[in-house]
Amino acid sequence: MKITDLKCAIIGNHPVIRVVTDEGIDGYGQIQLTKPYLKPQVLFYKDFLIGEDPTNVERTMLRIRRLGAFKPWGSGVSAIEIALWDIAGKAAGLPVYKLLGGKIRDRVRVYNGAVRFPLAGHTPADYADVMAKMKASKEGFTIIKQAIGYHGGQFAHSPDLAYNEWQSAFRFPNRGPLTEKGLKYVIACVEAMKEVLGDEVGLALDCGPGWTLPDAVRLARALEPLNVIWLEDLLTGDHTPYVIADLYRELIQKTSTPIHTGEEIYLRQNFMDLIEKHAVNVIGPDPEDVGGIAELKWIAEYADLHGIMIAPHGIFDGLIGLAAQVQVGAAMPQNYIAFEYPIGQPSWWYDIVQGLPNPVVKNGFIDVWDKPGLGIEINVEAARPHLRDEDSGFFA
């Protein structure tokens, strides 16, 4: 089997990857919906792949892996890797999880990142209200993640919560020390959310990046009695192309609250410091940023050897990404907590990606399916109306 073409189309803001072979078996991958600008980068890899046997996934990936970088520039490589596993599974007549070592769980836990409800305001009561709605959602999530602090834009509505001037430009890296009022405000919001969830549903907090180390320590210590699942990306994360393991290590030595990071990191080599220095309690690579699903599993295994847990990021991964998360999640070691559940945005994605369970999530879990490859089918006729004019030949 040989790769004859690499195609990329923007469908509903997602760059969608199609790897074409000379035996009529195609593989699909997907880039997060926030990154439609990456199509040219994906097509750059085409000349490196033509003529390769896609079922030799690792040998094929060696041709392009060095040409990616930290989020968002590892997305193209990651989506191609997922598409190659899709082909390998279809060619073997096996689900991808079998090729990754086989499953150790029949259902995969997810946490809520994408099923959201609008905030009416920014008071603790407003956060409690949306938490009640998510707790009551039909998916029955056992873990819910909520953005707070710099990541949640909480400091944008009040100038006296932090000692800086808030910049409202998209993805501007706001950063700086909090005022006493700001720290008390964040803590009050968390207390209000925990009051709703109790010990029935775990609360994870997406915090940054942007916190100074002293404020991160104060927050983590203040929240210790609330037993939150983790505090995520306090110091780095979200398009910050560096790790800073030593700062994270100083943070976790001063608190019992679990500390989490990793969604922006590309490749196993860049997780070495966090893992080997025991700098965090939980890592959260995104398979659509880190280099793919085999890369994710390798990192999970290495973290497990060092007593570190894993909860993969994935809020914008789409339904093809969801299928990939289930496949690798089934084969993860026992340090696995849950992956971040993505939804089809817009909802017509559920007409395009077929083969998912219905309902997808039951009581906070997704049942692992056994169809070959990623175990999904792309309804070409349902997808065609959503292709841009320049992508009209995507399925040809």
Please give the tally of structural domains in the chain. Answer: 2
- Does residue 333 share a domain with residue 234? yes
- Does residue 308 share a domain with residue 168? yes
- Does residue 145 share a domain with residue 79? no
What digits encode the pLDDT tens for the residues 209-253?
999 999 999 999 999 999 999 999 999 999 899 999 999 999 999
pTM check: above 0.85: yes
Which of the four pLDDT bands, split at 50, 70 and 90, describes residue 152?
A: confident
What digits encode the pLDDT tens for the residues 32-51?
999 999 999 999 999 999 99
- Does residue 369 share a domain with residue 384? no
Which of the four pLDDT bands, split at 50, 70 and 90, describes residue 157?
A: confident
What digits encode the pLDDT tens for the residues 363-380?
999 999 999 999 999 999
- Does residue 118 share a domain with residue 226? yes
Looking up residue 367, the CATH number of its domain turns out to be 3.20.20.120
Please report, to the nearest 10 degrees, the dihedral formed by the alpha carbons of residues 337, 260, 257, 322 taken in order.
-30
Looking up residue 385, the CATH number of its domain turns out to be 3.30.390.10
- Does residue 153 share a domain with residue 86? no
Report if residue 211 sits inside a domain: yes
- Does residue 106 share a domain with residue 231? yes
Q: Tokens 């609250």 map to which residue? A: 257
- Does residue 136 share a domain with residue 37? no
Distance (Å, rounded) from C-alpha 171 to C-alpha 207?
14
- Does residue 31 share a domain with residue 127? no
- Does residue 195 share a domain with residue 47? no
Q: Is the dihedral of CA 36, 332, 141, 309 positive or negative?
A: negative
- Does residue 275 share a domain with residue 159? yes
Q: 353-354 and 339-341: which strand pairing?
A: unpaired
DSSP codes joined into one string, 61-84: HTTTGGG--STTTTHHHHHHHHHH
Report if residue 360 sits inside a domain: yes
Report if residue 394 sits inside a domain: no
Over 274-291, what HEC string results?
HHHCCCCCEECCCHHHHC
Report the share of the chain in percent with pLDDT over 70: 100
What digits encode the pLDDT tens for the residues 320-335?
999 999 999 999 999 9
Q: Nearest-CA neighbor of 293 among 263, 240, 331?
A: 331
In terms of residue numbers, what domain contains 60? 3-94+379-389
Distance (Å, rounded) from C-alpha 301 to C-alpha 259?
19
